[in-house]
């Protein structure tokens, strides 16, 4: 096992308004190959901003980023655009809460699942792309993948759309999958299925996962290690069970207390 991602002192500041606003401060994250790490925190605590920075998806204007995001010997904050592009959506890929906003409504599912192969692996033929897309769609639990391949996003349920997003994120065999509240828009049963799918992907493909949620009980189901964020800062980090047993911060205790008893 080796360290594949090493984020140190990440700092993100917006300049949209007169005064700069710091939204992430001193964020550190070390990720081992094949590990699942959780990031938990109330809405607005800086989880998505940190994740987007790691995925290289923060727009370059109107914000300052400092620190280091080391991946594969490169600092993703300072490397050239081509290097960053070569990782984005291929070695490091991301899925979001609401697949409907990430999926293109007028493009067929198959086309969207294949996207990262079209961008990053031009050597792969059209037939091979389709074959891999259908295999991946099958692997994420989409029934009748050949049929779904030719469908449009609006023809699918929320849970199926999230599976499509996961297939699209996984087709390039990323080393890191960042899942930003991937189950928040789904009902509890489907939520459990998606968590199970992420666990399966991690186990079978050894993909490291950064799993983001405002729900500590979900994090506990999937992750061994968790980072607790509040107001742009990491307030606590460590083994999930350990944190459940003896949370050091009042904020963490509140997150634990917010979990409905039925989930425990
Ligand atoms: N475009 C923006 N300009 C200024 N502040 C922003 C912008 N987008 C998000 N923020 C702020 O950044 C902070 C962190 O947001 P975010 O990372 O999305 O939180 P979380 O994912 O934990 O809910 C929030 O206070 C939010 O208001
Ligand atoms: Mg968020």
**How confident is the model over 109-146, as pLDDT tens digits?**
999 999 999 999 999 999 999 999 999 999 999 999 99
Sequence-distant (6+) residues with CB within 8 A of 182 are 95, 96, 97, 162, 165, 166, 194, 198, 211
Tell the residue nearest (CA) to atom 6 of ligand 1.
Answer: 14
Question: Strands across the sheet with 21-32, in order?
Answer: 21-32, 3-14, 63-71, 74-75
Q: State the chain's mean pLDDT as an integer.
A: 92
Query: Residues with Cβ within 6 A of ligand 1?
Result: 14, 16, 21, 23, 41, 43-49
Cα of 263 to ligand 2 centre, how many Å? 22
Task: Look at residue 101 in the predicted model and tell me its pLDDT.
Answer: 80
pLDDT band at 1 (very low <50, low <70, confident <90, very high): low
Q: In whole angstroms, give the CA distance from residue 239 to residue 242.
A: 5
In Å, what is the CA distance from 25 to each residue of 39, 50, 57, 176, 201?
Answer: 15, 9, 18, 22, 31
Residues 208/197, Cβ–Cβ less than 8 Å: no
Task: Please choose, from the candidates 85, 86, 219, 96, the residue with its C-alpha nearest in 3D space to the C-alpha of residue 164.
Answer: 96
Is residue 263's pLDDT more than 70?
no
Helix axes 158-170, 126-139, angle to 10 degrees: 130
Q: Ligand 2 mean position to 70 CA, how many Å?
A: 22
CB–CB of 155/148 below 8 Å?
A: no
Tokens of residue 222, six digits? 């999937």
Q: How far is the CA of 232 from the centre of ligand 1 (A)?
A: 9
Q: How many CA atoms lie within 13 A of 161 on its CB side?
A: 21
Q: Are 31 and 82 in contact (CB under 8 A)?
A: no
Ligand 1: centre distance to CA 34 (Å): 29
Specify whether the CB–CB gap between 6 and 68 falls below 8 A: yes
Q: How far is the CA of 44 from the centre of ligand 1 (A)?
A: 5
Spatial separation of the C-alpha atoms in residues 90 and 17, rounded to whole Å = 34
Report the distance separating Cα 194 and Cα 93, nearest Å. Answer: 17
Of residues 28 and 85, more confidently modeled: 28
**What is the rounded average pLDDT of the residues 69-82?**
93
Ligand 1, atom 7: closest residue by C-alpha: 14
* Helices then strands, each counted (H, E), the chain: 12, 10
Give 263 or 182, the one with higher predicted confidence. Answer: 182
The pLDDT tens digits for 141-191 are 999 999 999 999 999 999 999 999 999 999 999 999 999 999 988 888 999
- Closest listed ligand to the CA of 47: 1
Q: Residue 39 CA: which ligand is closest?
A: 1
Best mutation site among 46, 53, 228, 235 for ligand 1, i.e. most ligand atoms within 8 A of its Cβ?
Answer: 46
Element (DSSP H or E) covering residue 27? strand 21-32
* Token pair for 103: 């999926």
């Amino acid at each position: 096992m080796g360290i594949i991602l090493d984020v140190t002192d990440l700092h993100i500041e917006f300049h949209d308004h007169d005064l700069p606003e710091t939204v992430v401060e001193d964020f550190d994250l070390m990720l081992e190959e094949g590990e699942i790490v959780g990031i938990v925190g109330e809405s607005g605590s800086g989880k998505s901003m940190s994740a987007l920075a790691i995925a290289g998806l923060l727009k370059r204007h109107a914000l300052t980023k400092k620190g280091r995001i080391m991946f594969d010997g490169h600092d993703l904050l300072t490397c050239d655009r081509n290097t960053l592009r070569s990782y984005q959506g291929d070695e490091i890929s991301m899925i979001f809460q609401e697949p409907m906003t990430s999926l293109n409504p007028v493009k067929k599912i198959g086309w969207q699942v294949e996207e990262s192969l079209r961008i990053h692996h031009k050597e792969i033929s059209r037939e091979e792309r389709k074959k891999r897309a259908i295999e991946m769609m099958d692997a994420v639990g989409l029934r009748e993948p050949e049929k779904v391949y030719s469908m449009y996003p609006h023809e699918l349920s929320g849970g199926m759309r999230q599976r499509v997003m996961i297939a699209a994120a996984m087709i390039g065999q990323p080393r890191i999958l960042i899942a930003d509240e991937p189950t928040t828009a789904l009902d509890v049963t489907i939520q459990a299925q998606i968590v199970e799918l992420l666990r399966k992907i991690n186990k079978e493909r050894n993909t490291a996962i950064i799993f983001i949620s405002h729900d500590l009980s979900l994090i506990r189901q999937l992750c061994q290690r968790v980072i607790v964020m509040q107001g742009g800062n990491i307030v606590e980090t460590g083994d999930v069970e350990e944190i459940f047993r003896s949370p050091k911060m009042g904020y963490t205790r509140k997150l634990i207390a917010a979990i409905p008893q039925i989930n425990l």
